[in-house]
Amino acid sequence: MRVLSGIQPSGRPHLGNYFSMMKRMLEYQSSSDLFCFVASYHAMTSVDAADELSKNIAGVVLDFLALGMDPNKSTFWVQSDVPEVTELTWILSMQMTVSQLELAHSFKDKTAQGIVPSAGLFYYPVLMAADILAFHSNKVPVGKDQKQHLEFTRDIARRFNHQYGEILTMPEADISDDVATVPGIDGRKMSKSYKNTIDFFAPEKELKKQISSIVTDSKGVDESKEAAGPLFEIFSLFLNHGEKEELADRFRTPGTGYGHIKGDLQKKVLDHFADARQKRQQLEKDMAMVYDILAEGAKKARAVAAPLLDQIRSTVGLKY
């Protein structure tokens, strides 16, 4: 069973990225043939500064490796190091209509916000389809907001196979009901675009500032509080059922202020990611080794994508 997913280096990964995608991918290493990539081309739809993009790509790579991505148990690479994907994108675009792409949530949401969309943003779902189909992916863990894009991928594969024969593997979406939307410090979905994130690799001073900024009501120390809202929900991500009930009791029982709970949350985050934070610092000191890991990952990824692309070139008539 081949599992594939990717993460955009559009900024520093946060708790929402970790619990909804990164943690799940790391768990797949022990049970599946894991393919995981840093979606550098996709990030260009929102990051147009070269230095920022380059820094973000390296940062996400370090984050994943620090968290436990094992290149011996997975295929881990940067999207732009596998050129077969972009060529496949063009070929697959012939199986998609303009009217379909205009219905894409990512495109509609951006235009609704008044953003002038690039052609790259418009073609985003086709590039995502190529990311998936180039590697014979069986299962694709995605959030509910990406379900439509996975359906586009299946449509493209179905049409291509109908026209040319059963060449592309039909992927299945893996949407976990257990992974709820992680709230940001303002109560909205945690998102880099909302600037409401908690960055688990941030320096302690910065991390404290982010956690201290989690919105709460105005109830004081001696008042009972509702076990709900972003502070309770974010803290609960780190707890089992019994611990979550204990946290709820703390909220409901007068005598504990929000500041105390925020301090405990900061300690919980630091404890949970202590080993990863230390490993990340070590990896930063040996970037040559990191680049070697990525080069080997790209080699492994291309070994899968190149034969498929060669077959597709021949099938569609590009070999003469």
| List of residues 6+ apart from 195 with CB closer than 8 A | none
- Stretch (H or E) spanning 32: none
| End-to-end Cα spacing for the chain | 35
Tell me whether residue 267 is one of the annotated catalytic residues.
no
**Is residue 219 flagged as an active site residue?**
no
Catalytic position from the list 55, 189, 244, 279: 189
Verify whether residue 209 is a known catalytic residue.
no
Task: Show the 3-state SS of 192-249.
Answer: HHHCCCCCCCCCHHHHHHHHHCCCCCCCCCCCCCCCCCHHHHHHHCCCCHHHHHHHHH
Question: Cβ distance 283 to 62 under 8 Å?
Answer: yes
Quote the CA–CA distance of 193 and 197 in Å, as a whole number.
9
Say if residues 276 and 18 touch (Cβ distance below 8 Å).
no
CA atoms within 13 A on the CB side of 17: 23
3-state helix, strand, coil in the chain (%, to 5): 60, 10, 35
Q: How far is the C-alpha of 287 from the C-alpha of 281, rounded, in Å?
A: 11
Q: How far apart, in whole angstroms, are the C-alpha atoms of residue 65 and residue 201?
A: 13
By annotation, the residues acting in catalysis are 110, 189, 192
